[in-house]
Amino acid sequence: MTEQHALRIATAFLDAWTGQDLDTAGQYLATDFVFDGPIAHYTSAQEFLDRSRPFAARLKSWTGIAAFGDAEQALLLYDLVLVSGDLMRIADHYTVSDAKIAREQIIWDTGQR
């Protein structure tokens, strides 16, 4: 495993998810993937993919601001670009195990810009 292994997996997942390619996004998630966010908590990859589908449909892309990672963790700060043109500032922490994302913890800026 390389030093930035988790960062590569996290960004590939984010590319697929924001591109509304949930089949590809799901390939990066462990079956028992855990998602923790301000308004949702999921305990499986399938639950996350099913429940996040309506939100993913509102996404256009993401723009990275800062990223750090090692073999097992990635931390990303980015703007989600919505199809409406609005932005959401996101801080996202990923934990990777066996080349799959095991956990995602996310917070976002609720202020409008």
Q: Are 29 and 35 spatial neighbours (Cβ–Cβ below 8 Å)?
A: no
User: In the predicted model, is pLDDT for residue 37 greater than 90?
Assistant: yes
Q: DSSP characters for 40-73?
A: -EESSHHHHHHHHHHHHTTEEEEEEEEEEE-SSE
pLDDT digits (tens, 9 = 90+) for 52-65: 999 999 999 999 99
Whether residue 111 has pLDDT greater than 80: no
* Residue-level pLDDT at 112: 52
pTM metric for this prediction: 0.91
C-alpha distances (whole Å) from 47 to each of 41, 51, 90 are 10, 6, 21
Q: Which helix (H) or strand (E) is 34 found in, with range?
A: strand 29-36
List the one residue out of 94, 96, 105, 101 whose CA is nearest residue 36: 105
Q: What is the average pLDDT score of the chain?
A: 93
**What fold, for 5-108?**
Nuclear Transport Factor 2; Chain: A, (3.10.450)
